[in-house]
Each structure stands twice: as C-alpha cells, then as structure tokens.
Chains A and B, each alone.
Chain A
Amino acid sequence: MDTFLGLEALVLARVQFAFTVAFHFIFPAISIGLASYLAVLNGMYLWTKDEAYLRLWRYWVKIFAIAFAMGVVSGIVMSYQFGTNWSVFSDLTGPVLGPLMAYEVLTAFFLEAGFLGIMLFGRGRVGPTLHMIATAMVAVGTAVSATWILSVNSWMQTPQGFTMNEVGQFVPESWWDVIFNPSFPYRLAHTLTAAYLTTAFIVGGVAAWHLLRGRVANLGVQTMFSMAMWMIAVTAPLQIVIGHEHGLNTLEHQPVKIMAMEGHFESHEDGVPLVLFGWPDQDAGEMHYTIEVPRVGGLILDQGWNGSMAGLDTVAAEDEPPVGIVFFAFRIMVGIGMLMLGIGIWGLIARFTGRLYDSRWLHRAALVMGPSGLVAVIAGWFTTEVGRQPWVVYGQLRTADALSPVGAEAVGASLIAFVVIYFLVFGAGVFYILRLMNHPPEPGETGLRDEAGPVRVAGLNPHQQVQETGGPRPHGGEN
C-alpha cells in the first residue's frame, strides 16, 4: 500500500475532510447567526427609527461580509471533495444525497447569493422595504441551507427510506423518510441553536470589550451587549434541553456512539454511573483515573436509578469508534455549554440588579467567552462525526470502503496545500475581522463602500430613487 509520510490514503483523506470541514463550519456558524441578527437590527431600525440600530447594522455587516465570503469559498471546496476523495461514496449515495444537496443549492445558496448584493450594497437603491426583504432573504437562506445539509448529515447517521440496487447504490424509496430521518429534527435544532448561541457570544464579547475600554458614551455598544445577553439567557438553557433530547435520540439509534461519549467500556447491569472525567485506553478496553458519580448517568439517559446499559465490551473491535476523541470532544462541548448557561444567568442577575453595563467582572467573563461557541461547535461536530466511525453511512457503508482510487501522495500533497493556504487566507480574514471588532461602532458609522459614496445609475441617482419610491431621506453624508 502506498503511503505519504507513512500515512495511508484513507487516513489522509479523513484528516483532509476533518480539517476542511472544521474550518468551513466556523463560518456558517457565524453567518447563520449574524444574518438573523442583521435582519433584526434592520427591522428594529425601520420600526423605531433609532439610529443606534442602523449604526450597529452597518458595523456588523462589514464583519458579516468577510465571514460570509470565507464561508462561501470554503464551502465550494466541500461540495467538490465528495468527488475527489470519496468517489465511491459519491457513486453509491448520489441517488439519495445528491438531490438533497441540489435542493440546498436551489433553495438556499442562490437565495443567499442573489440577495446578498442588494443587502450589502443596495440600501441606497431599492428603498427600505425591499432592502429589508433582501436582508431577511439572506437570513432565511442561511437557515434553509443548514436544514438541507443537516438532513444529509443526519441521513448518514440514521439512514432510512432506501433500498439497494444491483450495483450497490442507495436508491430512494421514500423521500419523506430520507429527509425526516430519525435524528434530523434533533440535529437541526441543536445546530441552529448552536449557531445563534455562537454568534450571541461573539457579539457579546465584542460589546464587552468596548465596555471594558470605557466606550460607554457610545449607545450602540450597550444595545449590542444587552441584545447579546438576552439571546444567551434564552438560548443557553434551551440548548442544554435540546442537546439532552439529541443525546437520547442518539442512544436509541447509535448506542455505540453514546458508549464512546460516556466512556463506557464495560456494560452496567445495575445503575449506570456518570463518568465526569477519565483517560480512555481503547487498547486495554478500560478507563484510567476515572472520576464518576454512581447511577447519575442512568438518570440522565432516562434509564432510571437501577438502569442497565451495554458497553463497548459488547461491540466488535472493528465497529468501535475512536473513543478518546469522542470522549474528550463531548466533554469540551458540554463543559462550554455549562459555562454558557452560567453567563446567561449572571447576565440576567446583573440586568435585574441594574448592573448590566457596570459589572466589569461580567464584561471580562463575556470577553473571555467570546469565541467559546466556535470551540463548542467544532467539538460537537467531532463528537458526532468521529462517533459515527467506522461507518460513513451508519451500519451500511464503511468509511474505508468509500474512498476514491487515489494515491496517498495526491491526498497528502493536497492536504498540505489546504493547511498552508487555509491558515494564510483565513488567518488574514480573522485578522481583518478582529481589527474591525477592535473599533467600536461610531456615530458616523458607514456600511460597505456603497454607503460611503453615491453611484450614478443610468441617469438616476440613488438619492432621487429613494425619494421617488417614498423611502426616508438619506442620512446626512452617509448615503
């Protein structure tokens, strides 16, 4: 078997997929949340005519534009990687998954892309109602996109509604069953909520940074912080409930994944402990340095005080996922979730005691937690994806059997290219985003370049057009 730096094509292709998807996933997680936030800000501005909302819209739209562009380009890579590295998977699952992805393109990508230009550059040209519709369409597009791609992913986790044809392709039998597969609603709710929570922490972190720097004279900052803390207070506990339900669903359909997440190498007959921490040793089939709470694991998993649960000792070795990664990734996700809940409660207390804008410790905590959602999202993604191994379509198609007829050198060389280029390009993007965030929203905040200066359009300039369509007068010097 040919290798690259001692690694086989299969390993390299998996690392490449994990790397590119983890990088990609950051950006939709931000743009799903920010698109909705921008729609809310735009709506609030139209409703209240309070300039603070417009200022925030213009502030965040610049950050959104960068995150969105990075999401688009890293997403195009994903859409072709199925074919380059996983061509057997593509051939066999194409009839089922291809249409779902085609629907994602037709209902979501075009919607986002078509209205993005109007949202970013069209405020001075289409009038407030159409501009609001464009902003809303972009937000709807991001959520619809998530819906389809999570249906695809969920089907790979809990496949149903298909038969096999003579060449081994999955052939759809019931589209309803394919799309609404058993884990889909849980995964969709969990991921969308994660995106909103992630964005709320980023917005809250940026606001906290400016509050800590004493930029309180700027009303936009307080509005930003208040909105973020409301969002966290609502979504953090909600996410814990959804995550719990998702876990129960996984226990029903992918029990082996739960065994790995919970670190249960052994079966439990009478009462299932909750493993708080430990060091999984998959070769020996046991946990080292375990700290556990008796019987609570069974309660959490709805198995009762005296419940029983099978462990990895009941699973054939070739069907076990890599326990260490799943175990730790799950703990990172849950740990961050608990901290998020803490911030949510703290924010509520500070609000009701009138200290929301004065509590420096709350602001420091919010700042530190700013990027935590991204870490949690990636950890969660690893939990669910690595936990599905060694299957790419759970129980049906092994990852090892899905690989392209590729040489290790080709996959290895392209992996290095991805790593180098992604760090360079997206590193620059993150730098530009952080630099934008480092400045507070200004009273004369300008949006993207269109709003800074007028553009003449076929003998009709934007000012006239807005006035003719009954829109508000342009604001001094900004349009």
Chain B
Amino acid sequence: MGWRTVVITKHSKASYKMEHLIIQTEDDVVKIPMSDIQILLIATTESVITSHLVMELAKRDIKIIFTDNKKMPVGEFNPYYSNLNRNRNILKQISWDSDKKSLLWQAIIKIKITNQAKLLAKYDREKYDGNLANIDLEELINQIEIGDVTNREAVAARMYFQRLFDTKFNRRNDENEINGYLNFGYSILLSLITQEICCAGYLTELGVHHNSMENFYNLASDFIEPFRIFVDEIAFNKTPGSELDMSDKLELVDLLNQTITTNNGDALLSGVIKTFVRSCLKYLSEDVENIPELEIKV
C-alpha cells in the first residue's frame, strides 16, 4: 500500500523503469519506488507522461490526478480491474437496503455537523451571528432524522459557513478566493475516496444519498462529508485576500498526511478516510448491523 504523494509541478518527463517512477527534470532525475506511491498529482500542464507509466500506475491502483491550466484538478484516472469482486459488489450496491442507506446517511451527517460544531468552537466562532438566528449546531444534531429527511445538513451548512468565514460568504461564488481553497481541497479528498471505492470494487456513481445524474462521484460525495472540515480549517487560517498559490495547494495536498486523533487513536488522515470508507461499504454490503462510528478530535 502506497504512502507517498508525488506532485509534479514543473517541466518534466515521467516514465516507468524497473518498478520505479522516473521523473526527469531539466537538471535532475528522481526515482521513486512504485510501491511507495499513493497518489500522483500532475499539477502542471508542462509535463510529459508515458503510456507505459500510466498502465503500470493503473495496474497498481495508484491514483493519477490531472489539473487544468489554472492548476485546479479536472479529472482523475480509475482502473478497471482492481478488484475481482467488482461484479458481485456492483450487484449488491444496486440493491443496497434503503433503510441501511438512510441510517448510514443519518450517521454521516451527525459526524459532519458534530465536526462543524467542533471547528466553530475551536476558533470561537459559534456565537457569530450576522443576520442568522443564534442557534447552536448542537441543537441541529439532535434533530437529524433517519436519512436526514428534514435536511438539517443544509441548515447547518448555511449557519456554519457564514459563522466560520463571513456573513456574506456564499459557496456558489467562484470569484471568492476561499471557494478556491475549498474546491481544491475537497477535490483532493474526493479523489482519495474514489480511489478507495474503486479499490474495494464498487461504483462511485451510485450514492447513498447523493443521486445527481451529472455527478460521477455520488458515493464519494457521501463519504467525504465528515472530512471536509479539515479543508475548511486550512481555508480559515489563510491570510485574508490572498490568492491560492502553489504553496497553498501543496499544503492542501499534504493534508492527507496529517496525523489526526480519532476514537481509534492517532492515525494519518488518509488512513482514517480509507478505514471509514471500507467500514461504510462493509455495513452496506454485508450482514452487519453496526453503523460505522467516527469521532474526530478537531
């Protein structure tokens, strides 16, 4: 299992030789063992990558993420044959029990809003109320119903973002530099989650709650929810008014390597995400009644 994230940011050629990823730049040659690599992020449009390398990466389930000329992630690469149980799993996925889906979604949203409340408390933002009614997020947590049918998630999101950033903050405004941070950071998290879903042999399209016809990553969009706060925290701590530059992006990518504390002890964020995804899939597909739990120290 890989543990290194490789980011290519400059004019270079990436190829494969003797179980190694070889990156040739103008003045250097870097060799990285394939078995070390978890994600290859190509954060430039000036690098060349050989088809042999792409094939070898695909065979090993290593994620390749491509970015556009504005350096935002535009797409990723998922292999076909990474899990021999894929057909069986997809059949199960299509007929996942709707009660289980609703219970899992309720649990995920509980973790999400709990984490949002913790983050607001950490930075003393929980009482910040521009035009908003001064409700605690904790109150919402108790109101979450099975399947979150009353959509407490959206209510919490509105209160949370405006308290954390600004009363005028709007997630839909692409001009806002905070949204640049969030979009970039979320796509990195999302790609790790799709990688894990693909490795486990499931479709990312069929979600538990998300069911947009345009979204290829409905299931990953479900599982990402508890972890978004880590990106939010970085965005919150950046210097106001600064544009998203390469070092900010690297900080967001390196987020996966941060050690966090959960109810299972200390672990890397990437490891916690993977374990969570696996236990959600297990809950949905197998005869287990225990809904995955996750307590994160924010």
> Do A and B bind?
no
B interface list, Cβ under 8 A from A:
none
A interface list, Cβ under 8 A from B:
none
